[in-house]
């Protein structure tokens, strides 16, 4: 499928540029605190689809934002995503030993270094956004900081992680699962799409269209993840249930069934795309991205 | 001593206002992530000298900055200080069960909640600074964010904590201890003094004077802490060595001796005060603060 090939090529090209920007903002100087820099670089560089920065780049394209601005804002968002994985993997949280086939930070280094490296990445994200190399207009920089802080704090990602932890001891219904995902994974995706509107000084109406797109995209993304968790297992192990079900956690699939979840994801994709009706062909990759999240197989 | 009574009264009055501001920025809404809000409030509210916000208030006074601006910037700085204590107390770090006579966050709640509450406080600090209620000029807000991120990140506090961890396995010399403290405790004190200059759009020269004051103050503060660790123990337990010495860590006292350390602290205080020569009587409480840090007994 040519369109999907186009999207994959665009994703790869963007990922390479994001990688270079991350490498730059994580440049190690000769300070004695080498170990923490190493841990920060270890966990951030060398992998990942970089979906969130891709959304920043694509939403920025709609408003002819300078590429450096979009790349730096995307890198800041990715730093937040990476820190959240480091802290999530800690023994007191999900206790994971491997991430993308590599030992997690607390395994490769130690727990204290993982905690501090996460703190360092989180803090660096805001340093990058507030720096005037990200945008010449301080008002734009302050709005980016505010938006990213809201998306990643207790009213966003961190709040979602807390609900997720508490969910281990009780059963969530569909509304609660939706709220959890809107915060835990949705908030950063939303900021990715909103960032272009902030960088481009877009009107409130245009910004709202991107936010609506992002909210449907984020939810479709999560439902697709739940489907992969189940169907990946079916193919690979012959078991019909995946790790979420094993952990006794409710998911969109356990609540809606496989067919119901797939139908819901497709509805959300259509709805996401409809919010982009006001944009020209520069939004085509965002439209394709929405299709991609439910059709991907990894 | 009347002057010290004046300072104590000013510290108490400031602490009460800072407490009210922190209470406001930590206002709990009805969201389901109640536990994390509780943990954030538990660890932040209800105590502490609030020395760092006091420095923001006093440096702001030199430039007639609006009190709300200074209080919100001070609250943001205090949020960073509080998050660092929560993460520092974790089992993988200093493993402390008590803080100011109360169970630490991971003891009162659990480790995962402590990690997330720390992340939430850290993120909230930047949300507070980027909010236009902190200052109407976006350029000032962006500079505050940049300054606080630099002071608290790998080139500041977090970097210092990393050196401190690594120092457990080797012996630091005077230069290295000085560098460690300049980052670990000095960077936030420096930002506290710099914040007034940023909020007041002070000249580079004026800002530099406050930074120089802050650097000497921060070091004097740390030396005084090391002295208290030794002399507090002498009075209370009859032992000549405190917990740092027990842990095999070098301190200013172990490297300079008690008399040498006290002399160095006094020199630093004189030097700190000399950097304030260009300011009028509005800097008197900053001058007294420098005296206070070496004369305090707790």
| CA-based end-to-end distance of chain B | 17
| Sign of the CA dihedral running B64, B23, B126, A210 | negative
Interface contact flag, A165 B126, Cβ < 8 Å: no
Supply the pLDDT for residue B293.
Answer: 85
Question: Where in the sequence is the domain holding A239, given as residue range(s)?
Answer: 2-295
Average pLDDT, chain A: 91
Q: Which residues of B36-70 are buried (b: 16+ CB within 10 A; e: fewer)?
A: bbbbbbbbbeeebebbbbbbbbbbbbbbebeeebb
C-beta atoms of B143 and A130 within 8 A: yes
Listed by number, the residues of chain B in 140-169 with a beta carbon closer than 8 Å to a beta carbon of chain A are: 141-143, 145-146, 149-150, 152-155, 158-163, 165-166
Interchain contact, A37 vs B154, CB within 8 Å: yes
CB-CB contact of B220 with B274 (8 Å)? no
Count of domains observed in chain A: 1
pTM: 0.94
Read out DSSP for chain B? -HHHHHHHHHHHHHHHHHHHHHHHHT---S-S-HHHHHHHHHHHSS----HHHHHHHHHHHTTT--HHHHHHHHHHHHHHHHHHHHHHTSTTTT--SEETTEE-HHHHS-HHHHHHHHHHHHHHHHHHHHSTTT-S-HHHHHHHHHHHHHHHSTTTHHHHHHHHHHHTTS---HHHHHHHHHHHTHHHHHHHHHHHHHHTT--HHHHHHHHHHHHHHHHHHHHHHHHHHHHHHHHHHS-S--HHHHTT---HHHHHHHHHHHHHHHHHHHHHHHTTTTS-GGGHHHHHHHHHHHH---
Q: Which residues of chain A have pLDDT under 50?
A: 234, 237-241
> Do residue B141 and residue A142 have CB atoms under 8 angstroms apart?
yes
Instruction: Please give the full DSSP string across B72-113, using - where no structure is assigned.
Output: HHHHHHHHHHHHHHHHHTSTTTT--SEETTEE-HHHHS-HHH
Test A33 with B159 for CB contact under 8 angstroms. yes
Contact B141 A138 (CB under 8 A): yes
pLDDT along chain B (298 residues), means of 10: 86 97 86 80 92 98 98 98 98 93 95 97 98 98 98 95 84 90 96 98 97 97 91 51 64 93 96 97 97 76
CATH number assigned to the domain comprising residue A48: 1.10.600.10
Residues in chain A closer than 8 A to B146 (CB atoms): 127, 130-131
B28 contact A CB<8A:
no
State the best of B94, B145, B173, B180 to mutate against chain A, taking most chain A CBs within 10 Å: B145
Which candidate in A41, A89, A116 is best for mutational testing of the B interface (most B CBs within 10 A)? A116
A126: closest CA of chain B, how far (Å): 6
Query: Assign residue A135 a region: left if phi > 0, alpha if psi is -120 to 50, beta otherwise?
Result: beta
């Amino acid at each position: 499928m040519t369109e999907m090939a186009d999207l994959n090529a665009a994703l790869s090209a963007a990922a390479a540029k994001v990688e270079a920007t991350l490498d730059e903002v994580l440049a190690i100087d000769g300070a004695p605190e080498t170990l923490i820099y190493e841990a920060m670089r270890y966990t951030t560089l060398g992998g990942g689809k970089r979906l969130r920065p891709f959304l920043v780049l694509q939403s920025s394209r709609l408003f002819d934002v300078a590429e450096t601005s979009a790349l730096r804002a995307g890198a800041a968002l990715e730093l937040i995503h990476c820190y959240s994985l480091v802290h999530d993997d800690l023994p007191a949280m999900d206790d994971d030993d491997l991430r993308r086939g590599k030992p997690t930070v607390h395994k490769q280094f130690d727990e204290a270094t993982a905690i501090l490296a996460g703190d360092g990445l989180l803090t660096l994200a805001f340093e990058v956004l507030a720096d005037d190399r990200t945008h010449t207009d301080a008002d734009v920089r302050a709005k980016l900081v505010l938006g990213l802080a809201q998306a990643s704090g207790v009213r966003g990602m961190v709040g979602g992680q807390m609900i997720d932890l508490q969910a281990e001891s009780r059963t969530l219904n569909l509304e609660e699962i939706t709220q959890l995902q809107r915060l835990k994974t949705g908030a950063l995706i939303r900021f990715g799409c909103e960032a272009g509107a902030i960088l481009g000084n877009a009107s409130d109406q245009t910004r709202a269209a991107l936010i609506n797109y992002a909210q449907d995209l984020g939810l479709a993304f999560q439902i697709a993840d739940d489907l992969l968790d189940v169907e990946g297992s079916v193919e690979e192990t012959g078991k019909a249930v995946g790790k979420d079900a094993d952990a006794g956690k409710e998911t969109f699939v356990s609540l809606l069934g496989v067919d119901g979840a797939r139908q819901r994801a497709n509805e959300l994709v259509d709805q996401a795309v409809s919010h982009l009706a006001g944009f020209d062909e520069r939004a085509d990759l965002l439209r394709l991205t929405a299709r991609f999240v439910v059709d991907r197989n990894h």
